[in-house]
Structure 1
Amino acid sequence: MIPAQREKFNQQFTIEKYKSFLEKLQEGYPEIPFRVAETPVFIPKALKDKLIAAGEEIISLIKQSNFKELTKNSIPKDWNVPNENAQPHFLTFDFGICKNEQGELSPMLIEMQGFPSLYGFQCHLANTFRQVFEIDNSLNHFLNGFNEEEYIQLFKEVIIGKHQPHEVALMDVDALNQKTAIDFFVTKKMLGIKILALEDIKKVGNQLFYEENGKQIQLKRIYNRLIFDEVAENIEIFKNSFDPREELDIEWVTHPNWFYRISKYTMPFLNSEFVPETRFLNQVESIPTDLENYVLKPLFSFAGMGVIIDVTEADITNILDPENWILQRKVTYEPVVKAPDGGVKVEIRMMYLWPDGGEPKLCINLARLSRGKMIGVRYNADFDWVGGTVGFMDE
C-alpha cells in the first residue's frame, strides 16, 4: 500500500530469506502452529489516520456512562463472573481494508474484542522482520509515539499492576499447548510472569494458589486467556481447579465479562462510516431482498465458527434464537497487498492497552493476509503470502 516500500520488499524477498526469518522467529520457542505470512503490510499515513479515527469512534461508545446498561444482555447468564471492574484492560478492533465510494482505501470494522491478543508476539514478530529484511526506519509497528521500552513498561503496568511478577499468571485451559502459546512464552520473557494451565491453580477458601518448588504461592492477579466458549461443553474441568464464576479473592486482567460486552454484540450500537450496517436478527423487521450482500453471524462463537456467508431466507427463518445473531452487510475487501502472483486481502487489528484508572492507549497492531473467502489462518491453509503478520505504518 506504500508502493515504494512494497516494491523494495518484493525485490529483496527470497524463499531462503523467508525460511531464515521463520527460524529466527522460532529460536528459543516451541514450534509456531499457525502460518506466519511472508511479508509485513506497509500502511500509508492516510489509511493509518482513518484507522485511528475509527478506533476513537468506537472507544467513545465504550466510554459512555450507559455502556454497561446497553450491553447487559451480552453476557450469557451461565457465564456471568462476579466483581466486574469499571473498564476492560484490552481493546482490539479488526478492520478489513476496503475502498470507499471515493475510491480511497478505508477501514471497515469486522470484529471487536475486550480481550487480549498477541501483545507480546507482535513485538517479537516486528523485530524479526527488521532483522531479516530491510524495513525502512521511517516505518513503525508501534503507534501513538510508543517505542519498545515504553510499550513494555505500559504492558507491565497493565498485566502486573501493583503486584510482584510471581503473584501474576497468564492462564488458559491447557496453556502450553494453545495455538497462541508462542505469545504466552514471549510475554513470560518480557514480564517475568508465570504461565499456568487451569488445573495448575487450586482454590483454598476463596484464594487461588499454585505450587512451585514444593511451596504454595498465592495468585493475586490472573492475565486471563481462557475463553468460556471453548470449555462450555466441558465445565467438569473446573472441578480440578476453580470455577471463575465463584466469589474469589483475585484480580482479573481483563475481567471475563468484557469478552462479551465488547464483541459482535456491540456493533449494532455503532453508527459510523467505518462500521458496516449491523442489526440484531430479532430486530430485523423484514428480510432484505439482496441477501447476497449480507452475512449472518452468531454472537457467541469463537474464531469465525458458525458464520454463514452465503445467506438464504431459510437460514434466517430456521434460527430459533434470533436474539443471539446479527445480520451484517458484507464488507468487500480490496486486494491491496501486492504478492508476486497478484493481490492479497488484508485485515488490520488495532490493539490498545487500558491501565487501571487510566485511559485506553493505542500501542501496536496485528495484520492478517488472506486469499480465501474468510480472513483467518484456518481458512487460508493452502495458500502462500497469507497468514499472521504486522503492519509497518508511515509516520
Structure 2
Amino acid sequence: MIKEYRQWFNRNYSESLYQQYLQALDSQYPGAIEFRVAETPVFVGRDFKHKMLDACEAIIDVITQDNFTAITDAAIPAEWNIPGSQPYSHFMVFDFGVCLGADGLPEPQLIEMQGFPSLFGFQSYMAAAAQKVYAIPGTLTTYLNGHTEESYLQLLRNIILGSCQPEEVILLDLFPHRQKTRIDFYCTQHYTGIKPVCLTALYSEGNRLYYTNENGQPVRVKRIYNRLIFDELEQQLPEVKAKGALLHEQLEVEWIPHPDWFYRVSKFTLPYLQHPYIPATSFLSDLLAIPDNLDQYVLKPLFSFSGRGVEIDVTAEMIKRITDRHNWILQRKVEYAPVIETPDGPAKTEIRVFYFWEEGKARPVATHNLARLSKGKMIGVSYNKRETWVGGSLAFFEED
C-alpha cells in the first residue's frame, strides 16, 4: 500500500528469490508448512497503521471496562465453562480488511477478533526470513510500538512462562503434529522451550495435571499455553471428545490465556463496538426486521472457526431458517479493495494485529502482525490455492 515500496518490490522480484524465501522458511522445520506462503509482504504506511491501531485501542477501551466480563458471560457455552477463569486475556488478535474509504484512500475495517493466540512464533521467524531474502529496507518493520525481534520474543517468553520453567509449561492442542499451524508450534518451542502436547496425552492425579514424556517419565504441567479450539474438539471421535472432561476438573494449573477469552473477545463482542473502522453488527435475535439490502451484509455464526458457516450472499430465506438466532450476527459487509499490485492481477489483503497483555499492566499492547492475501471472495490461506501472489504473509510498517 506504500506505492514506492510496492513498485520497488515488484521491480526486483524474481521466482528465484521467492524460492529462496520458501527454502529459508522450510529449512529449520522441513515439511511443516502446509499452507501457501504468499510471494510478497504487504507494505503499510503510517496513516493506515495509525487508523488500524486507533480502532484496536477503541476495542481495548471496551474490553477493559469493569462490566465487560458480565456482558460477555453469555458468550461462554455452558459445556465449556472451564475452572480457573482469569480477569484478562494474555493474548488477543484483531483482523482488519483493507478497504477504500469515502476519500478513496485505503482504510481498515474490522472483520473479526479473538481472545486467543495466533502464529506468534512463526510470524517472527517469517519476518526474519523475508527481511533477509528480500533485503527489506531498514525503514520498515513488522513490529509495533517500538518492539524489535529481541524484545518481542522476550515478551512472548515472559508471558507464556510466567514464573515457571519451560518443562512445566505445555502448548496444548489436539494432535499438534498434524495441525496446519504446527510450524508455529515448533517455532514457539524453539523460542520458549515449551513442548506441544496433545490433549489425549494428559491425565490427572488428584488436582495435578501430567503427561508422560518420550522417556516414559511423568511430567507435571503447571501452565498451559492454550491453542486448543473446542469447536474442533467437538468434531472428534467420542473417545477423543471424552478427554475434554479432564479440563472440567479443579486442577492446579494456569491457562495462558484461559479458554473463556476465546468466547469473550470474539464475534460476540462486535455488536457492542462503535467506531468508524468497525462495521455495524447486530445479533440476529435483536433484529426487529430483516433489512431489504441484504446484499450489503454478511451472516456469521458466533461459534465457528476459520470462516466455517459464514454466509456472504445472504437471503431473507436463509435468515428465516435459522432457529437459534441468538447464536448468529448480521454484520455490515465490507468491500475488500484490490490494493496489492501483482504481476498477474491485484490482490486483496487482511491484516491481523497481535496484542500482548503483560501481568501487572493496565492494558495490552500491539506487538506484531500477520497478513493474508487473496484474489477470491474469501480471505485465508485455505482459499484460492491455484492463484499466485496469495496466501500467508505479513505487513511491514513504515516507522514513525
Whole-Å Cα distance in 2 between the matches of residues 30 and 245 of structure 1?
37
Matching of residues 229-378 of structure 1 within 5 Å: 229-234=231-236, 236-237=239-240, 239=242, 243-358=246-361, 359-378=363-382
Residue by residue over 1:180-203, the C-alpha shift from the partner in whole angstroms, topping out at 9 and shown as x without a partner, is 000000010011111111122221
Give the drift of 1:129.
0.7
Instruction: State the secondary structure of the residue aligned to 2:341.
Output: strand
Change (3 A) 1:128 1:135: same
Letter in 1 for 2:10: N
1:231-286 deviation per Cα after TM superposition (whole angstroms, max 9, x unaligned): 11435325458621221111001100100000000000001101111000000101
Q: CA–CA distance in 1 between the matches of 2:245 and 2:24?
A: 38
Deviates more, 1:249-258 or 1:354-363: 354-363
Q: Quote the offset at 1:151 in angstroms.
A: 0.8
Unaligned 5+ runs, structure 2? none
Match in the other structure for 1:105: 106
Quote the Cα distance in structure 2 between the aligned partners of 1:37 and 1:233: 30
Q: CA RMSD in A?
A: 1.2
State TM-score, norm by structure 1: 0.98
Moved more, 291-300 or 195-204: 195-204
Q: Give the aligned residue type for 2:192.
A: L
What is the one-letter code of the residue matched to 2:171?
L
Amino acid at match of 1:22: L
Equivalent residue, structure 2, for 1:389: 393
Secondary structure in 2 matching 1:202:
strand
Q: Kindly tell me: are residues 251 and 312 of structure 1, through their superposed partners in 2, closer, same or farther at Cα, counting changes over 3 Å? A: same
Change (3 A) 1:239 1:328: closer
Q: Distance in 2 between matches of 1:240 and 1:370?
A: 37
Question: For 1:286 and 1:382, how far apart are their aligned partners in 2?
Answer: 40
Does the CA contact (< 8 Å) of 1:172 and 1:198 recur in 2?
yes
Report the counterpart of residue 88 of structure 1 in structure 2.
Answer: 89
Distance of aligned partners of 1:239 and 1:205 in 2 relative to their CA distance in 1, 3 Å threshold: farther
What aligned pairs does 1:4-153 form with structure 2 within 5 A after superposition? 4-31=4-31, 32-153=33-154
CA–CA distance in structure 1, aligned partners of residues 265 and 172 of structure 2: 21
d(CA) in 2 for partners of 1:202, 1:241: 11
| Matched residue type, 2:279 | P
Residue 225 of structure 1 is matched in structure 2 by 227
Measured in 1, the distance between the counterparts of 2:285 and 2:216 equals 55
Shift of 1:112: 0.3
Q: Secondary structure at the match of 1:223?
A: strand
| SS at structure 2 position matched to 1:295 | strand
1: CA distance, partners of 2:221 / 2:231: 24
- Unaligned residue ranges in structure 1 (runs of 5+): none
Identical positions, percent? 48
Q: Distance in 2 between matches of 1:107 and 1:240?
A: 41
- TM-score in terms of structure 2 length: 0.97
Whether contact under 8 Å (2:300, 2:310) holds in the other structure is yes
- Aligned-pair distance for 1:24? 0.8
Query: Are the equivalent residues in 2 in contact too, given 1:201–1:241 (CA < 8 A)?
Result: no
Conserved in 1, the CA contact under 8 Å of 2:234 and 2:241? no
**How far apart are the structure 2 equivalents of 1:73 and 1:164?**
35
In structure 2, what is the Cα distance between the partners aligned to 1:173 and 1:30? 21
2:188 maps to what in 1?
Answer: 187
- Deviations along 1:26-57, one digit per CA (max 9) or x if unpaired, are 11204210011000000011101111111100
* Residue aligned with 1:126, SS: helix
